Amino acid sequence: MKYYRTVMSIIFSLILSQSVLSQQLVSVSATQLQPRSQAGYVFVIQTTQPLSPNSGFVIVFPQAFMLQNVKMGATKAFRGGVTVEVRGDTAIVRRTGLGDTAPAGDIDIFLASVINPPDMEQEFDFKITRLDGELPGTVVDTRIAIRQAQSR
C-alpha cells in the first residue's frame, strides 16, 4: 500500500510539473518585416521551470516561412550557447550541454536567416515544444502577430 501511494504521488508530481511547465508565454519579433526577405527571429519564451544544460526547444514555423538557410542560433539567457538543426518547417534548438542550469524566466532564442512569407500582414501559428532530456516535451501552441525587433 505504501508503495502504491509513493508511485501515485510521483505520477501526480510529474503531471503537476508538466502543467506548470505549460504555463509559458511567447513573443516573436523579426529584424525585417518585408515579405520574402531574410530576417533574424527572436523568440522570448517565459518559463516557470529552470532549463537544464541538456534541454532545448522545438519551434515549428507556419509552412509559409522558409528555413533552409537557418544555420545559426544564439541566446543571452545562459552560458554555453545553442545548436540549431532544421527539418523542413521545424527548428530544433538545443543547449550545448555546457553552462549551468538557466533559472526560470525569459529565455530568448535568436534564429538567423529565416525567409519571411509573402504575406506578413497576418497572425501566424507557431508550435513550441520544450525538450527536457528524458521528460516528455511541453507543447505551446500560440497564434501571434510578429512585431519589428528593436535594435540593440
Q: For residues 134 and 43, what is the distance between their CA atoms, to the nearest angstrom? A: 24
Neighbours of 84 (CB within 10 A): 20
138: Cα separation from own chain's centroid: 10
Please list the alpha-helical segments (H only) found in 67-137. none
Instruction: Evaluate whether 50 touches 95 at the Cβ level (below 8 Å).
Output: no
- Give, for all 152 residues of the chain, the pLDDT tens digit: 543 332 233 333 333 334 334 444 888 999 999 999 999 999 999 888 888 898 999 999 999 999 999 999 999 998 889 999 999 999 999 999 888 999 989 999 999 999 999 999 888 888 998 887 655 555 555 555 666 665 44
Phi and psi, residue 15, nearest 5°: -65, -45
Q: Which residue carries 497564434 as its cell?
A: 143
pTM of the model: 0.76
